[in-house]
Amino acid sequence: MEPSLTPEQQALVQGIARDLQKGHRTNSISTRLVEAGVEKDTAWRLVKEVDNAIGAAKRAESKKNILHGALWCGGGCIVTILTYAAASRNGGGGYVVAWGAIIFGAIQMIRGAMAD
């Protein structure tokens, strides 16, 4: 279990996260922290830990999008194949092309893959 942070430490971590998400470089954030009175080693460690945590969260979100997209796309393909097979077995008739699920799933998979 990780130790809980003081309100000052929480504010510091949130500020680092905000700066990283705005695209600021890790060295410039660390330099500002040192100028604000944080020890150099502590500043570098904090920035690196927050950067790693943000990266891990983004990777987890990407994997989730890829999985959910694959399930939607695969489910749409299965529904299409099964209904087509049933229609063919009965000498013709209507079947369902689940294009919405297939396209939605493919887009979600691509977004997940590109975000990683």
Q: What is the pLDDT of residues 7-59, one digit of tens each?
A: 887 888 899 999 999 999 999 999 999 998 888 998 999 999 999 999 999 99
The reported pTM is 0.73
The pLDDT, as a whole number, for residue 2 is 55
Tokens 């470089």 belong to residue = 25
Q: Is 58 within a domain?
A: yes
Q: Is 1 within a domain?
A: no
Structure tokens at 80: 């299409």
Range of the domain at 81: 7-115
Q: Is 2 within a domain?
A: no
**Is the dihedral angle over the CA atoms 30, 36, 42, 46 positive or is it negative?**
negative
Q: Is 67 within a domain?
A: yes
Q: What is the pLDDT of residues 58-82, one digit of tens each?
A: 999 999 999 999 999 999 999 999 9
Q: Is 68 within a domain?
A: yes
Classify the phi-psi angles of 96: left when phi > 0, otherwise alpha if psi is within -120 to 50, otherwise beta. beta
CA distances from 65 to 13, 53, 74, 76 (A): 27, 18, 14, 16
Q: Is 30 within a domain?
A: yes
What CA dihedral angle connects 14, 19, 21 and 24, to 10 degrees?
Answer: -160
**Number of domains, the chain:** 1
Map residue 96 onto helix, strand or coil.
coil
Q: Are 65 and 111 contacting, i.e. CB atoms less than 8 angstroms apart? A: yes
